[in-house]
Amino acid sequence: MRSRALLAVALVATACSTAVPEAEPFLGVWASAGWGVILDIHGGSADVYEVSAAQCLLARAGSARNIDDVVSLKGERLILDDGGRVIGFDRLAALPEACTLAPDSSSAAVVVAVIAAVEEHYYPGVDAGWQDRVAALVVPPDGDDASLASAVEALLEPLDDPQVALQAGSSLWNAVPPGVPDDLAAGLAAGTLLPGATIAGAGALVATDLGGGVRYLGFLRLGGFADSTDGSQRVVAAALDSSLDGAAGLVLDLRAATTGAETEALLVATRFVATPTLVATRQVRLQDGSLEPAGEATVNPMPTGPFPGRVVVLVGPGTSGPAELLALALAPLPTVTIVGEPTAGSPRSPLVRGLPNGWLLGIPNVEVITADGTSRVGAPLVPDVSAPVTHDDLVAGRDPGLDAARAVLES
Q: What is the pLDDT of residues 352-379, one digit of tens each?
A: 999 999 999 999 999 999 999 999 999 9
Closest residue by Cα to residue 130 from 159, 162, 164, 150: 159
Residue range(s) defining the domain that contains residue 210: 182-410
Same domain, 189 and 309: yes
Q: Residue 170 class from Cβ within 10 Å (0-12 exposed, 13-18 middle, 19+ buried)?
A: exposed
**Would the pLDDT of 9 be above 50?**
no
Q: Give residue-wise pLDDT tens across range 193-248.
A: 443 344 344 334 555 656 655 456 788 887 777 665 556 677 778 888 888 888 88
Same domain, 82 and 186: no
Closest residue by Cα to residue 307 from 326, 333, 286, 338: 333
Q: Give residue-wise pLDDT tens across range 146-160.
A: 999 999 999 999 999
Query: What is the pLDDT confidence band of residue 166, given thresholds at 50, 70 and 90?
Result: very high
Q: Which residue has the higher pLDDT, 17 or 399?
A: 399
Looking at the structure of the chain, the number of domains it has is 3
Same domain, 95 and 198: no
Confidence (pLDDT) at 355: 96
Query: What is the pLDDT confidence band of residue 2, given thresholds at 50, 70 and 90?
Result: very low
Comparing 256-270, 321-335, 343-357, 377-391, which segment has the lowest mean pLDDT?
A: 256-270
How far apart CA 294 and CA 32 sit, in angstroms, is 11
Same domain, 166 and 188: no
Same domain, 381 and 256: yes
Domain end call among 100, 130, 147: 100
Is residue 151, in this structure, part of any structural domain at all? yes
Distance of CA 377 to the CA centre of its chain: 13
Query: What is the pLDDT confidence band of residue 172, given thresholds at 50, 70 and 90?
Result: confident
Most confidently modeled range among 8-12, 17-21, 70-74, 170-174: 70-74
Domain end call among 72, 100, 128: 100
Most distant CA pair in the chain, distance: 69
